[in-house]
Amino acid sequence: MRISLRLLDRVLAHAAQTYPAECCGLLVGRGSQVLAVEAARNLRANDRDDRFEIDPLDHVRIFEAARAAGEDIIGCYHSHPDGYPGPSSIDRFLARSFGGPFGYLVVSIRQGWACQVYSGMITEGGQIIPIPLEFEVESQEVRDGA
C-alpha cells in the first residue's frame, strides 16, 4: 500500500484528536495507492475505548463520493489508544467474516501523541497479514480536499 506523508499525518492527527477513544476511517484510492483519508464516526466510542464500528451513514457517504470520483474504498484504519501496534485478537476475529483484499492500518497512540503504525491486508480468507507501507513525500494524484 502506498500513501503520502500528508495523508498519513491526517490519520495520526485523527488518532490524537479522538484519544483516549479509538478513531476509525476509510482509505480511498485506486489499486494500492491511497488518494484520500476519510475520517468516520466511531459508533462504539462512548461504549468503550477498545472497539470501533464505522458509522454506516459515513461508510455510504464515503463510498458514493469515491465511486463518483472513479475511486474505491481500498482499506480502513483505526487506532489502539495505549495499545499494541497491530491487529488485536478482536480485530482478527472480526476480519474472518469480512474477507478482502482490503488494506488495514492500525495506529498505536500512547499518551495521546506517540504513534506507531501497522500496515496490513485482510486477505480473501479473512486473515490479517502484514504488508509494506510505502511512503511518498507527495503524490500528484492525492486529492486537494483529502
Cα 32 to Cα 52, 85, 106: the distances in Å are 24, 21, 17
Catalytic residue flag (residue 22): yes
The catalytic residue among 22, 38, 64, 134 is 22
Q: Which three cell numbers stand for residue 136?
A: 511518498
CA distance 100 to 98: 7
Whether cis (ω within 30° of 0) applies to the bond prior to 132 is no
Distance CA 136, CA 2 (A): 7
Which residue numbers are catalytic?
Answer: 22
